[in-house]
C-alpha cells in the first residue's frame, strides 16, 4: 500500500488528516501551514528571477504583506506559484490593473480592444511581477483574526484562520512594447502603472495588504495622511514571533465607525453605511468593495521580546513594538467625485481624532500603556505588559483634539455626535435615537466619558483601579466592567498627551447593571475621585 505521508503537503487535498493549511489547531506543536511553507521553500533555489534584457522593469517595495489567492485549494488563500515553484504576480492580473488605471483614450493603444468579434491586441505586453529572494527568509504563515462582532457588539465568533503571504517583499515588474517608444512614453506608462498599484495589488488591499511605497502617494489616492508614533504589545504569529500588523488600523477605524454610527441610527443602517465605507460581505450578494482603504508605512519601527515570570517555573515571552515614526494614509479604493472626497476627508478627520483621543490601535488598545504609566507594575518582572500609547507627530498637528480645559472634550464629543447624524442623513438614511443595541454603541445613555488632568506620567489614578481597590475594599478588578481572559470589558483607559508633561486622563465606560459598576460610577461622581463626567 502506498505511503501517502511521503507526498508533499502542497500536492495533498485540503481534507482532515491529509492537509489543512487554513485550520489553526490549538496546542499543536506544528501547524500544517508551517510544514507546507517549510517544504515549499526547502525545494527552491536561492536566486532572483531574471527578465530578458529587452523587458523594461521597475522595482517596488511592499510596505507590509502581499497576498494573492491562487484559487487552487478550496478554502485556502495562498500565492500564485509558477512552474519552477516561485511566487509571482501574473501578467494577466498586471494588465487588468493597468487597464483600470489607464486613461480611456489610451486603453486601445496600450491594452487592445475587441471589435466585431475580433480581438485587436495593444502594443504592450505585461510580463508580471517577481519578488527577490529575500521573501524566502521571512515568515510566510499569516493569521487572519476577524473580531468585529466580538469587539463592538455583543459577542460572536472570533476564530483565527491561517493564510500564506509574503512579508515586505520587493517585486520587479516587467513590460515590453511591440514598437519602439520614447523615454517620455515609457515614463507615461510607468506613471499609469503607479496609479494602478496605488490601489494595491492582490487581495485584502483595503486592510493594508499588497500596498507599495510610493513617493507621490498623496497625489495619487490619499484622502488623509496621519503621521504618528506609538508603543505597545505586538501581535503574535502562530510561531509566537511578534509582528507589527498594518491591518490593525483598518480594524480600529472600522470598529469606531460602527460604534459612532450605532449611536445615532439602527444596527442595519449603521452596518450598511460602514460596509459602503470600509467594505464587507453582503450574504448572497457577495463582497462589497468599500470606498476606503489604508496604507501604513512603518518608517522607524523596532519589535522585540519582553518577558515576565508568572511563577518560579516558567517564563512568558511577549512581543513589544516601538514605532518612533509611521505614516498612515487612508486612501480612495474607488473613483469618487471631488465633493465626495472632501466629505470623506472630513469624516476621517473626526474618526482619527476620536480614535486617538479615547483609545489606540492594535492589541490591548483599551488600556493605557503600563510601561509608561505604571512602571512599578511591570518592574517586578512578575506582571505582563499591558496596553498601548499613541501620539500624533508634529506634521499632523491638525489632527490633535485641542483641549484647553476638560470641557473641550465634551465639546468635541458633542460635535462628532452631531456630525454622525449629518453623515447618516447625507446618505438618505433615517436617524434613530435608540441607536443600535450593541455593547459599545456610542450613544447617550449607553456610554459615559470621565476625565481629569494628570500632571505627569506617574500621576495616573485610574490605572491603579484595574489592579487593586479604588476605595476601601471596593474593587472593579476582574469584574464585568474591566473584563478578564475571554471576556471583553466595558471600560477604556487613555492618557491623552496634553500641555507640557500633562495628560488628560480619560475613562470611557459602557455601564452594565452589576453592583461593582454602579458603586464605581458613584465613586467617580464623588469629590474624592478627582474625575469629572464629560459626556
Over residues 311-328, the mean pLDDT reads 90
The answer to whether position 235 is within a domain reads yes
Q: What is the predicted pLDDT for the residue at 370?
A: 92
* 529 closest CA partner among 458, 488, 474: 474
Beta bridge pairs of residue 471: 474
Q: Are residues 185 and 320 in the same domain?
A: no
Does 411 lie in the same domain as 455?
Answer: no
Q: Cβ(51)–Cβ(25) under 8 Å? A: no
Residues 201 and 90 in one domain: yes
In a domain? residue 70 = yes
3-state secondary structure of 212: strand
Rounded to whole angstroms, the Cα distance separating 235 from 177 reads 45
Q: Is the pLDDT of residue 215 over 90?
A: no
Torsion angles phi and psi, residue 405, rounded to 5: -145, 170
Please state, for a pLDDT cut of 90, what percent of the chain lies above it. 63
Instruction: Assign 14 a pLDDT band (cuts: 50, 70, 90).
Output: confident
Q: Are residues 226 and 206 in the same domain?
A: no
Residue 348 has pLDDT above 80, yes or no: yes
What is the average pLDDT across 29-36? Answer: 86
Q: Which residues of 14-43 are buried (b: 16+ CB within 10 A; e: fewer)?
A: beeeebbbbbbeeeeeebbbbebbeebeee
Q: Are residues 238 and 156 in the same domain?
A: no
- Residue 1 has a pLDDT of 47
**pLDDT value at residue 242:** 92
**469: helix, strand or coil:** strand
Question: Any residues with CB less than 8 A from the CB of 533 and at least 6 apart, and which?
Answer: 448, 449, 450, 524, 525
Residue 452 has pLDDT above 90, yes or no: yes
Task: Give pLDDT, residue 287.
Answer: 76
Q: Do the domain assignments include residue 12?
A: no
Asked if residue 493 lies in contact with residue 458, where contact means CB atoms within 8 angstroms, the answer is: no
- Which pLDDT value is given to residue 157? 57
> Do 384 and 465 sit in the same domain of this protein?
no
Residue 296 lies in a domain: yes
d(CA 82, CA 91): 12
Residues 205 and 74 placed together within one structural domain of the fold: yes
Boundary of a domain, candidates 185, 216, 247: 216
Same domain, yes or no, for 123 and 51? yes
Q: Tell me: do 317 and 204 sit in the same domain.
A: no
Looking at the chain, the whole-number percentage of residues with pLDDT higher than 70 is 95
The residues with which 162 forms a beta bridge, in sequence order, are 143
Do 396 and 252 lie in one domain? The reply is: yes
Find the helix packing angle between 91-101 and 183-197, rounded to 10°: 100
Total structural domains within the chain:
3
**Closest Cα partner for 155 from 487, 420, 462, 490?**
487
The rounded distance, in Å, linking the Cα atoms of 104 and 100 is: 9
- The answer to whether position 240 is within a domain reads yes
52, 157: one domain? yes
Average pLDDT value for the chain: 89
Tracing cell 518608517 back to the chain, one arrives at 299
C-alpha to C-alpha distance for 344 and 339, rounded to whole angstroms: 9
* Residue 300, CB-side half-sphere exposure with 13 Å CA sphere: 7
Residues 6 or more apart whose CB falls under 8 angstroms from that of 288 comprise: 275, 276, 279, 280, 281, 282
Sheet hosting strand 170-177, strand order edge to edge: 56-61, 170-177, 124-131
Structure confidence by residue, pLDDT tens digits, 457-486:
999 999 999 999 999 999 999 888 988 776
Cα radius of gyration (the chain): 25
User: Given this model, what pLDDT does residue 3 score?
Assistant: 59
CB 341 within 8 A of CB 262: no
In a domain, 165, yes or no: yes
**Judgement on whether residues 133 and 210 belong to the same structural domain of the protein:** yes
- Domain range for 363: 221-416
CATH number of the domain bearing residue 63: 3.30.70
Arithmetic mean of pLDDT, 511-526? 93
Residue 8 lies in a domain: no
At residue 17 the predicted structure's pLDDT band, cuts being 50, 70 and 90, is confident
With respect to residue 424, please indicate whether it lies within any of the assigned structural domains. no
Amino acid at each position: 500500500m502506498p505511503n501517502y505521508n511521503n507526498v508533499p503537503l502542497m500536492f495533498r487535498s485540503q481534507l482532515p488528516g491529509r492537509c489543512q493549511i487554513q485550520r489553526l489547531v490549538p496546542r499543536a506543536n506544528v501547524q500544517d501551514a508551517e510544514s507546507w511553507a517549510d517544504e515549499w521553500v526547502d525545494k527552491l533555489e536561492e536566486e532572483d528571477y531574471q527578465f530578458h534584457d529587452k523587458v523594461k522593469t521597475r522595482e517596488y517595495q511592499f510596505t507590509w504583506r502581499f497576498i494573492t489567492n491562487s484559487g487552487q485549494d478550496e478554502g485556502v488563500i495562498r500565492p500564485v506559484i509558477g512552474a519552477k515553484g516561485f511566487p509571482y504576480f501574473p501578467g494577466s492580473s498586471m494588465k487588468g490593473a493597468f487597464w483600470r488605471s489607464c486613461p480611456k483614450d489610451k486603453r486601445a493603444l496600450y491594452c487592445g480592444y475587441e471589435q466585431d468579434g475580433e480581438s485587436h491586441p495593444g502594443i504592450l505586453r505585461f510580463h508580471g511581477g517577481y519578488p527577490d529572494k529575500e521573501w524566502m527568509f521571512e515568515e510566510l504563515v499569516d493569521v487572519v483574526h476577524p473580531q468585529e462582532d466580538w469587539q463592538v457588539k455583543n459577542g460572536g465568533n472570533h476564530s483565527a484562520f491561517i493564510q500564506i503571504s509574503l512579508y515586505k517583499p520587493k517585486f520587479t515588474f516587467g513590460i515590453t512594447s511591440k514598437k519602439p517608444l520614447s523615454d517620455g512614453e515609457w515614463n507615461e506608462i510607468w506613471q499609469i502603472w503607479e496609479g494602478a498599484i496605488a490601489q494595491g495589488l492582490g487581495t485584502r488591499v483595503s486592510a493594508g495588504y499588497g500596498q507599495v511605497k510610493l513617493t507621490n502617494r498623496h497625489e495619487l489616492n490619499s484622502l488623509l495622511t496621519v503621521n504618528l508614533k506609538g508603543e505597545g504589545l505586538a501581535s503574535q504569529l502562530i510561531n509566537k514571533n511578534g509582528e507589527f500588523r498594518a491591518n490593525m488600523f483598518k480594524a480600529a477605524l472600522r470598529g469606531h465607525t460602527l460604534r459612532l454610527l450605532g449611536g445615532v441610527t439602527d444596527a442595519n443602517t449603521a452596518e450598511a453605511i460602514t460596509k459602503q465605507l470600509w467594505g464587507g460581505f453582503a450574504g448572497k450578494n457577495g463582497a462589497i468593495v468599500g470606498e476606503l482603504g489604508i496604507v501604513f508605512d512603518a518608517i522607524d519601527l523596532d519589535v522585540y521580546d519582553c518577558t515576565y515570570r508568572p511563577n518560579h517555573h516558567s517564563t512568558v515571552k511577549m512581543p513589544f513594538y516601538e514605532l518612533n515614526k509611521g505614516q498612515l494614509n487612508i486612501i480612495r479604493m474607488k473613483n469618487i467625485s471631488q465633493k465626495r472626497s472632501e466629505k470623506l476627508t472630513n469624516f476621517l478627520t473626526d474618526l482619527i481624532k476620536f480614535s486617538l483621543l479615547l483609545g489606540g490601535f492594535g492589541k490591548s488598545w483599551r488600556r493605557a500603556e503600563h510601561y509608561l504609566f505604571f512602571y512599578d507594575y511591570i518592574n517586578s518582572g512578575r506582571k505582563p505588559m499591558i496596553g498601548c500609547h499613541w501620539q500624533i507627530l508634529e506634521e499632523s498637528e491638525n489632527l490633535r483634539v485641542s483641549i484647553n480645559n476638560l470641557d473641550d472634550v465634551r465639546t468635541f464629543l458633542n460635535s462628532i455626535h452631531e456630525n454622525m447624524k449629518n453623515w447618516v442623513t447625507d446618505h438618505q438614511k433615517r436617524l434613530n435615537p435608540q441607536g443600535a443595541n450593541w455593547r459599545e454603541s456610542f450613544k447617550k445613555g449607553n456610554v459615559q466619558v470621565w476625565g481629569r488632568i494628570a500632571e505627569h506620567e506617574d500621576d495616573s489614578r485610574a490605572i491603579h483601579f484595574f489592579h487593586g481597590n479604588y476605595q476601601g475594599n471596593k474593587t472593579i478588578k476582574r469584574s464585568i466592567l474591566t473584563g478578564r481572559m475571554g471576556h471583553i470589558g466595558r471600560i477604556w483607559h487613555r492618557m491623552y498627551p496634553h500641555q507640557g508633561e500633562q495628560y488628560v486622563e480619560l475613562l470611557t465606560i459602557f455601564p452594565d447593571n452589576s453592583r461593582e459598576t454602579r458603586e464605581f460610577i458613584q465613586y467617580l461622581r464623588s469629590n474624592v475621585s478627582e474625575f469629572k463626567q464629560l459626556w
